[in-house]
Each structure stands twice: as structure tokens, then as C-alpha cells.
């Protein structure tokens, strides 16, 4: 008997029992179900929730693979084993050694993220007696992409458990959540374990260990893996070229460094009509406008170079898009259809404010070098309100039209 029919028999056996949802989920995840709907009106469509989720995951896989190479590359570069790659296709970047280190560090994060998250989803499905929802498929992939490489696995497990339960299940599960679960997880990590989520040590694998070795009295050079935003905030010189920033050969969270691959993923999402181009575009416009305002303030001379905000405010406005994770947030986080605004006009407002606030936090709050996740979470909360006013505005407009006609 094939695996499929085996699974089908098991499923039939457990039908009606408490564990049924768990087996159903396993079966339908791997295969097309044997049963089809016969009665009533139904739509036959390929783009169900699972397909949608898988498309997003496909869009993220390049970022993940690049993240592995980059993790290994940053590690080796910091140790001084290899030379700088001098560009995207540099010989010392796409090497087997880099990939092995990257896989060694990144894959456990992916496994823990999916393991803990799906276990909780299955648990809730069994307790509540509904089918397992696919909501965690994308979250589970997003989470490893937005954390630093050296994050201890147990912290990730705690954060995932928190994010899935508090961020999603208490609201009623997939499709009902107000906050983006992946960002809830990141926010939890950020506030719970700040030493592992920010600073100049966590972005390059090995820097923390090296620090501990130095503290223990060994005679070694410290490794610094400051992100570009961190360097700006502290007024240090930026050693990375624009090309490095764009292609992503810089320290940062695992999957958010390569702007090129994020743009490709974003185009793929727009092409498959899964990501909303309105949100992506308006987020970028919002970020650029805030950047322009800051540039204007600097140009007008309203702020002196002695101010601690001067460094980040004087960053050319377009450069805000290739440093930090605003692009990743815009493409993969803000577009989450559950937590974003639903109306077209609402999407423009929602996206614009995300970009606007992200850059504002980035510049003004040195404690949070990157404000994208906070901005998106904040706008997640406001999305239903935005939608409400857009819908009410529409109702009012139409009411007026009726009145004009009857008058």
C-alpha cells in the first residue's frame, strides 16, 4: 500500500475522534484528499490557503539560502580566514564552506521554529476540535529570517510559543489574529532578550563566543559585526558600498540583507497576486517621504552636526531603502492579508504610515536601531480602524449620490 492510502486508512480510522484534525492535516498537507464535494454550489480553485502559503514560502526560499551563504561568509570574513568578496559574484562568497556554516546555524532555527509552532497549532486544533490551520507555514519560515544568527534555540522556542498562543490562538487562530505572529515573536525576543537581539555582536556568528573567550582572558581580537544602522546611530564610518548593501553582503538578520532577492520575491508575490502591490508601494513611498523630510531638515540647517540624530537624518532618503529591513518588512510582513488593511484606499494609508513611522523610529530612537517591526505591529492594530473609516467614507459618498438623485 502506498503512503497515501495508508494515511487515508488512518484518517478514516480516527474520523470523529479527538485526534482527527491532526491526521487530516497531515494527509491534506502531503496529498490531495480522496473526498470531493458533491452537493451544493462550490468553487473549484487551485489557490486555497495552502497554495497561497506555499507561494509565499517559495518567494522567501532565495532569501533563506542567501542568508545561509551570508552567515558563513560574515563568519569567515570576521575571523579573517577569507578576503572580502568584492561584490555579489565574488569568489569568496558562494563557497561550500560558507554554506556549511550557514546551514549549521540556520537550519536548526528553521526546525525549532516549525517544530514548536506546528506542535502548538496541532495541540490547539485537537483541543478545540477544528481542522489544523495552515497559518503557521509562512510564519514558521519568516521567523528564522528575521532573527540574528547566533540566537539561542531555546529563546526562539519560548518566543514562538508565546507568539503563536498570544499573537494568534487567543484571538481565534489563523485569519482572526490582529497582530502579525512572526513580528509578535520578534517583538517578544527583542524585549525579553535584548542582548541577543541588538548590539554589534549578535549579527555575525562567532562574535559572542569570541567575546566570552576574551572575557575569560584569552588573547584574541574582538569581532565586531555592527549593522549599518548601528554604525550610523553611533556615528561610525560605513565600510560597506552601496552594492554590498543592495546585494546584501552585510551583517544583519538572516534573511533581510539581500535587497535584490527580496525585490525578486516581491515581484513574484505581486505577479501571483498574493502580495498587495499597493501596500508594498505605499510603504516604500512612506519611507522615502520621511527620509526626504529629514534630508530637508538637514539641508535647511535646522539641526547641527553635533545632534545625535544628525548621522541618520543626513542619510540620503533613497538609501533608507537599502539599509535595514524596511524592504523585507514591506514585502513579506506588511502584506500579510490577515493583519493588513483590506480596502484599497485603506491599503495605501496603512502602507504609507508603516514606511513613515519605520524611518521615524529608526532615526529618532537609538534604543531601537530598526523600527520596522514596531511600525508594522502598530499599524496592524490600526488597520481595522482605517478600514472602518474608509468604508464609512464610501457609504457617505454613496448616500450623497442618492440624495442628489432624489432631490
Partner 1 sequence: MGLLSKKDAKLITDPLADNNPITIQVLGICSALAITAELKASLVMGIAVLFVLGIGNVVISLMRNIIPSKIRIIVQLIVVASLVIIVDQVLKAYAYELSKTLSVFVGLIITNCIIMGRFEAFALGNGPWKAFLDGIGNALGYALILLVVGFFRELLGSGTLFGIPVLGDPIEKTGLYSIGYENNGFMLMPPMALIIVGLIIWVQRSRNTTLIED
Query: Cα separation of 112 and 156, whole Å?
Result: 7
- The DSSP letter of residue 218 is -
Tell me the closest approach of the beta carbon of residue 191 to partner 1, in angstroms. 4
Contact 357, 378 (CB under 8 A): yes
Closer residue to partner 1, CB minimum distance, 195 or 306: 195
Query: Cα separation of 5 and 347, whole Å?
Result: 45
Closer residue to partner 1, CB minimum distance, 125 or 386: 125
Closer residue to partner 1, CB minimum distance, 212 or 307: 212
Closer residue to partner 1, CB minimum distance, 166 or 293: 166
Tell me the closest approach of the beta carbon of residue 359 to partner 1, in angstroms. 25
Closer residue to partner 1, CB minimum distance, 215 or 300: 215
Tell me the closest approach of the beta carbon of residue 12 to partner 1, in angstroms. 31
Tell me the closest approach of the beta carbon of residue 185 to partner 1, in angstroms. 12
Closer residue to partner 1, CB minimum distance, 193 or 318: 193
Q: Is 343 helix (H, G, I), strand (E, B) or coil?
A: coil
Closer residue to partner 1, CB minimum distance, 197 or 323: 197
Dihedral angle of Cα 108, 113, 114, 117, to the nearest 10 degrees: 150
Tell me the closest approach of the beta carbon of residue 68 to partner 1, in angstroms. 23
182 Cβ contact partners less than 8 Å away, ≥ 6 residues apart? 138, 139, 142, 143, 146, 163, 333
Tell me the closest approach of the beta carbon of residue 262 to partner 1, in angstroms. 29
Question: DSSP for 344-400?
Answer: HHHHHHHHHHHHHHHHHHHHH-TT-S--HHHHHHHHHHHHHHHHHHHHHHHHHHHHH
CA angle 117, 197, 150 (to 5 degrees): 75
Query: Cα separation of 109 and 189, whole Å?
Result: 14
Helices (H) and strands (E) in the chain, counts: 17, 0
Measured between alpha carbons, how far is residue 392 from residues 14, 146, 339, 352, 397 in Å? 48, 36, 20, 20, 9
Question: Residues interacting with partner 1, by CB under 8 A?
Answer: 152, 154-155, 158, 166, 170, 188, 191-196
Tell me the closest approach of the beta carbon of residue 152 to partner 1, in angstroms. 6
Contact 309, 363 (CB under 8 A): yes
Closer residue to partner 1, CB minimum distance, 67 or 163: 163
Tell me the closest approach of the beta carbon of residue 194 to partner 1, in angstroms. 6
Tell me the closest approach of the beta carbon of residue 109 to partner 1, in angstroms. 15
Tell me the closest approach of the beta carbon of residue 218 to partner 1, in angstroms. 17
Dihedral angle of Cα 107, 108, 114, 117, to the nearest 10 degrees: -150
Query: Cα separation of 91 and 301, whole Å?
Result: 44
Tell me the closest approach of the beta carbon of residue 404 to partner 1, in angstroms. 42
* φ/ψ of residue 384, rounded to 5: -60, -35
Closer residue to partner 1, CB minimum distance, 96 or 191: 191
Closer residue to partner 1, CB minimum distance, 134 or 150: 150
- Residue 253 exposure: Cα atoms within 13 Å on the Cβ side: 28
Closer residue to partner 1, CB minimum distance, 216 or 402: 216
Query: Cα separation of 224 and 227, whole Å?
Result: 9
Amino acid at each position: 500500500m502506498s503512503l497515501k492510502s495508508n494515511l487515508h486508512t488512518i484518517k478514516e480510522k480516527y474520523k470523529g475522534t479527538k485526534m482527527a484534525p491532526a491526521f487530516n492535516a497531515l494527509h491534506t498537507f502531503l496529498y490531495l484528499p480522496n473526498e470531493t464535494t458533491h452537493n451544493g454550489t462550490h468553487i473549484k480553485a487551485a489557490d486555497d490557503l495552502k497554495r497561497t502559503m506555499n507561494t509565499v514560502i517559495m518567494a522567501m526560499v532565495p532569501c533563506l539560502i542567501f542568508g545561509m551563504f551570508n552567515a558563513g561568509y560574515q563568519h569567515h570574513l570576521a575571523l579573517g580566514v577569507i578576503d572580502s568578496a568584492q561584490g555579489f559574484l565574488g569568489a569568496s562568497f558562494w563557497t561550500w564552506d560558507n554554506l556549511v556554516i550557514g546551514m549549521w546555524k540556520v537550519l536548526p532555527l528553521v526546525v525549532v521554529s516549525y517544530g514548536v509552532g506546528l506542535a502548538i497549532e496541532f495541540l490547539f486544533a485537537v483541543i478545540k476540535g477544528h481542522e489544523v490551520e495552515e497559518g503557521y507555514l509562512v510564519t514558521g519560515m519568516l521567523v528564522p529570517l528575521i532573527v540574528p544568527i547566533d540566537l539561542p534555540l531555546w529563546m526562539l522556542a519560548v518566543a514562538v510559543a508565546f507568539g503563536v498562543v498570544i499573537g494568534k490562538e487567543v484571538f481565534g487562530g489563523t485569519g482572526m489574529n490582529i497582530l502579525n505572529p512572526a513580528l509578535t515573536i520578534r517583538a517578544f525576543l527583542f524585549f525579553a532578550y535584548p542582548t541577543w537581539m541588538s548590539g554589534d555582536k549578535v549579527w555575525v556568528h562567532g562574535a559572542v563566543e569570541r567575546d566570552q573567550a576574551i572575557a575569560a582572558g584569552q588573547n584574541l581580537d574582538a569581532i565586531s559585526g555592527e549593522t549599518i544602522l548601528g554604525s550610523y546611530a553611533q556615528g561610525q564610518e560605513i565600510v560597506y558600498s552601496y552594492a554590498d548593501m543592495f546585494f546584501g553582503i552585510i551583517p544583519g538578520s538572516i534573511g533581510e540583507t539581500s535587497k535584490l532577492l527580496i525585490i525578486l520575491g516581491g515581484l513574484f508575490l505581486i505577479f501571483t497576486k498574493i502580495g498587495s502591490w499597493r501596500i508594498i508601494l505605499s510603504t516604500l513611498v512612506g519611507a522615502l517621504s520621511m527620509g526626504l523630510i529629514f534630508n530637508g531638515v538637514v539641508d535647511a540647517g535646522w539641526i547641527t552636526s553635533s545632534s545625535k540624530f544628525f548621522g541618520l537624518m543626513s542619510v540620503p532618503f533613497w538609501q533608507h531603502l537599502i539599509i535595514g529591513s524596511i524592504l523585507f518588512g514591506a514585502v513579506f510582513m506588511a502584506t500579510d492579508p490577515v493583519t493588513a488593511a483590506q480596502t484599497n484606499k485603506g491599503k495605501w494609508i496603512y502602507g504609507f504610515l508603516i514606511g513613515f513611522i519605520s524611518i521615524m523610529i529608526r532615526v529618532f530612537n537609538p534604543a531601537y536601531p530598526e523600527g520596522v517591526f514596531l511600525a508594522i505591529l502598530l499599524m496592524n492594530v490600526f488597520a481595522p480602524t482605517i478600514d472602518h473609516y474608509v468604508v464609512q467614507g464610501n457609504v457617505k459618498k454613496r448616500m450623497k449620490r442618492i440624495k442628489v438623485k432624489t432631490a
